[in-house]
Chains A and B, each alone.
Chain A
Amino acid sequence: MATIGSFALYLALALSFYSFGAGLLSLFRRDAASARLGETARRAGIATFIAVLLAAFILVSSAFNDDFSNAYIYHHSNRDLPAAYKFAVLWSGQEGSLLFWSLLLAGYGFVLRLRYKTDQRLFAYASVIIAAVQVFFLLILTFAAHPFAIERGGIPPDGAGLNPLLQYPEMVIHPPMLYLGYVGFTIPFAFALGALIMKYPGEKWIHITRRWTMVTWCFLTVGVFLGAHWAYAVLGWGGYWGWDPVENASLMPWLTGTAFLHSVMMQEKRGMLKVWNMALVFATFLLSMLGTFLTRSGVISSVHAFAQSSIGTWFIVFIGITAAVCIYFLVVNLPHLKSEHKLESLVSRESSFLFNNLLLLVVCFTILWGTFFPIISEWVQGHKVTVGPPFFNRVAVPVALLLMLLTAVGPLLAWRKTSIESLKRNFLFPAIGAVAVGLMMILFGVKPWEDPSYFYATMAAILSALVIFTVISEFVRGGRVIAGKSHQNIFAAMLQLSRRNTRRYGGYIVHFGVALVVIGILGTPFNKEVEKEMAFGDKINIGPYTLVCQSYTQDDNPNYANEWAIINVYRGGKLITTMYPERRFYKASNQPQTLPRIYPSFRQDLFLVNDVYLVYEGKNETTGRPIIKAHLNPLVPWIWIGLIIMVFGTVVALVPNSVPVPVTASIPVRTEAHAGAGD
């Protein structure tokens, strides 16, 4: 099996080399044979996918067959590992995850090469660029991180087992989502670089890549949030975001990708920010590569130390070459990227997009700077310093709040020019609502003047409310216009409104989801925690809850042995639920693992929901009594609800607009009107 797998990888490498070389040659030759050569390159690209798929299939089947002669399978699986995690073995270690990267890239390339008739020349350029990236990954797989290496010293009877942290259902979903996001940004990158090299006329490449970018962004969003949820539900520290370098690495391309999704509208509608958009696409791809480099190289210490090795040099060289190529073509083609229009007013959608991009990039820079500062410090001072959550919270949070303000105000600004009267009219209701929310927080006992974190929480609540009320007012205002014309009820009118301009209203829904995420985050300063040794009948009081230890129990299965605490949760003297925080001991890897239990109090608190979060930390070695740590985390469930709404919004934005309502008024058209005279 391993031999076939290795052969498939070598074949894939040869095919992708051919796809790159022949494709490149066909683009620069202008004779009759170049079209045929290009076609063979395209087909070689398609065949690459089949070869990589075969390699991945063989690796997964080796995991299912417990083939411990394969070193990778031996180190990341064991006989009693459940089937879902055996499938996840593919991305659980270095070599497998690089193969998975390569597979996803080949898959994206496969779809792209099948759809080549949309624009044959642009797709040919994109195909060559994808083939080049593919060659890089296959070179690493073949020469530096081979997934079919043989385990030395005979075939072991059982595997070393999968890292216990990875044995959680979300780990079957989180890495593929994140990788679909990371890898997916190769497609807009390939189109952008291709369009730049060939001096593509017009903005068609933007239209072609828009959907790719949105789908990719959606995957990355889901990947980032699932990672946060995994950290929350598995790591047992009661938080979901620790500003770990690898977490940061996933956030950086998300930020630049988000900036691109906004600024690309400027190019589509107004022919502006062309250089900027190119730079954003390039930066997003390079940051995706940087993320993979950070996860895989171990250059910066991280909690994600699942797969570290010396392949960092490969990535540094690749990132360096790619950056040089991008900068070269960007500089050479600057005249081609000249803006077509002028800005008519400072109070316009254009300005808001510019400042939105600026703030997104400043947050991205802050994260990049904070992530790499330990290395910079070591170079300059001779010793590392830690750049942890206090730094990021103090620097990135104020900028993120400004960003929320723009998220609220931006949709109220029209393209070209917005009158102050119109802004006042549209802003009044959301502003009153937001101030009311701020006052309510103070009435409920939050004192923003007492602590900076309370101040930020209050500001975040006000700005989130502003975003939510802005979105609602936009839907209601548009809905009313349609309801007035078509005599439908307001909800049917709002639905019709969204279907007429899915991108705009889908975007508003995404903003709504972002506001909910921020509401979920702003509860952090109000978190509470209590740790106590709990014997039968012992109590912990936390917030309005009383936790009573009912009992302890244990179980055993081939994969792990475990202990549970059985904790009854009371509120106002009434039993509301029973929770079972768990501690496992995985046999193959000889590692313990806690599994917290979480109860969101929607039934009791509705909007002001709390997570009751219990961790069974183990037993006190001296007294032999179990230790329970209880957290009360306000508002956290809104983060996950916000994610669902963001995904829903993206899906809405991806749906094509419904046929516009026919206009009955006749409009005379100037037949001699020159292209470019208007927008």
Chain B
Amino acid sequence: MRRIVNKGPEDLKGRGFSRAEIAPQIAAALAAEGARSTLKRALQALILTAAAFLLLAAAPSPDARFHDLGHRMMCTCGCGQILLECNHVGCQPSEKMINQLRAALDKGDNDDLILQGFVQEYGPVVIAAPTTTGFNRVAWIMPFAVLALGIAFAVHTVRTWKNRPEPALADGIVIPEHSPELDTLRARARKETDT
């Protein structure tokens, strides 16, 4: 039986195969192509859905924006709390700021513009976390740099410990690697501790 290397129906026909011989190949090739195309369509649909999902996620509702921005700023009354969490009874600064925030959102300003407006009016302390520009970037980088250094140090320590020579015994004492007595004790220790 001739071995058919399938490069598509036209290729098979051109290489002198009979109709009967190539018919199942054509059917199989068409089925494979159909499957590929279905897969491709499914993939496209998935990408489109994901894109739509991301686009939807990228456009939060005004309420969500209000909540988000209100939690990215501090109240300026001296309470040291997040703007929307100030608990001072009848706090006028927070009321004023909340009204300003609502007005800015109604005007259609983007988040950066709104935050900039607040910084101009109340100073940089109004933003609840350091920005990611200039020296403020250091605030964000430092903890992760320390984590990375710490991991490097820990890995180095573990390696050093692992490569450390066994502590020397006093002259004349030899502990055999295997002895029935030691093996029994080891097995027992494992059973009792490695639970």
Q: Which residue numbers of A lie inside 8 Å of B, CB to CB?
A: 235-239, 242, 244, 272, 301-303, 339-346, 350-351, 354-355, 358, 361-362, 365-366, 369-370, 373, 377, 380-381, 383-391, 394-396, 399, 414-415, 418-419, 422, 426, 450, 474, 477-478, 481, 583, 592, 594, 615, 617-618, 621, 667-668, 672-674, 676-677
Contacts and interface: CB of A to CB of B under 8 A. Distances in A.
Interface string B162-181: 11111101101101000001
21 contacts: A235-B87, A237-B81, A242-B81, A272-B161, A342-B166, A358-B150, A366-B143, A370-B139, A381-B134, A384-B124, A385-B125, A385-B130, A388-B82, A390-B128, A391-B129, A395-B143, A395-B144, A399-B147, A481-B195, A672-B172, A676-B167
B162 A346 contact: yes
Contacts of A358: 150-151, 153-154
B93 interface: no
B80 interface: yes
Interface stretch (B7-15, B17-25, B31-39, B71-79): B71-79
B20 to A, nearest CB: 53
A172 B80 CA distance: 24
Nearest to A629: B87
Contacts of A389: 71, 82, 128-129
A399 B151 CA distance: 12
A354 B129 contact: no
Contacts of A384: 124-125
B96 to A, nearest CB: 14
Nearest to A668: B181
Contact of A339 (B57, B87, B161, B181): B161
B130 A387 contact: yes
Contacts of B79: 303
Contact of B167 (A341, A474, A594): A341
Interface of B: 57, 71-72, 74, 78-82, 85-87, 89-90, 123-131, 134-136, 139-140, 142-144, 146-147, 150-151, 153-154, 157-158, 161-167, 169-170, 172-173, 175, 181, 185, 190, 193-195
Contacts of B134: 381
B80 A242 contact: yes
A531 to B, nearest CB: 10
B128 A388 contact: yes
Nearest to B142: A369
Contacts of B173: 672-674, 677
A594 B87 contact: yes
B170 A617 contact: no
Given A386-B74, A450-B57, 10 more contacts: A235-B87, A237-B81, A242-B81, A303-B79, A377-B136, A385-B136, A389-B82, A390-B128, A422-B194, A668-B181
A646 to B, nearest CB: 23
A590 to B, nearest CB: 13
A674 B57 contact: no
A301 B125 CA distance: 12
Nearest to A592: B89
Given A388-B129, A391-B129, A668-B181, A621 B139 contact: no
B89 A617 contact: yes
Nearest to A416: B193
A314 B147 CA distance: 33
Nearest to A593: B89
Contacts of A668: 181
Contacts of A272: 161
A339 B160 CA distance: 11
Given A358-B150, A414-B194, A594-B87, A340 B167 contact: yes
A667 B139 CA distance: 60
Contacts of B81: 237, 242, 303
A369 B85 CA distance: 24
A126 B154 CA distance: 32
Residue among B87, B166, B175 facing the most chain A CB atoms (10 A cut-off): B87
Nearest to A399: B147
Contact of A415 (B78, B129, B166, B193): B193
B40 to A, nearest CB: 24
B28 to A, nearest CB: 39
Contacts of A383: 123-125
B123 A478 contact: no
Nearest to B181: A668
A594 B89 contact: yes
A339 B151 CA distance: 20
A343 B162 contact: yes
Nearest to A411: B195
A517 B166 CA distance: 42
Contacts of B87: 235-237, 594, 615
A355 B80 contact: no
Residue among B81, B127, B175 facing the most chain A CB atoms (10 A cut-off): B81
Contacts of B129: 386-391, 394
Contact of B157 (A354, A385, A615): A354
Contact of B170 (A426, A618, A674): A674
B89 A238 contact: no
B193 A414 contact: yes
A354 B162 CA distance: 13
Contacts of A235: 87
Contacts of A340: 167
Contacts of A244: 80
B90 A618 contact: yes
A180 B150 CA distance: 31
Nearest to A244: B80
B135 A380 contact: yes
Contact of B147 (A344, A362, A380, A474): A362
A418 B139 contact: no
B108 to A, nearest CB: 24
B99 to A, nearest CB: 14
A621 B90 CA distance: 9
Nearest to B164: A342
Closest 8 CB pairs of A and B: A343-B161, A388-B128, A342-B164, A390-B129, A391-B129, A237-B87, A366-B143, A414-B194
Contacts of A396: 143
A239 to B, nearest CB: 7
Nearest to A236: B87
B168 to A, nearest CB: 9
Nearest to A670: B173
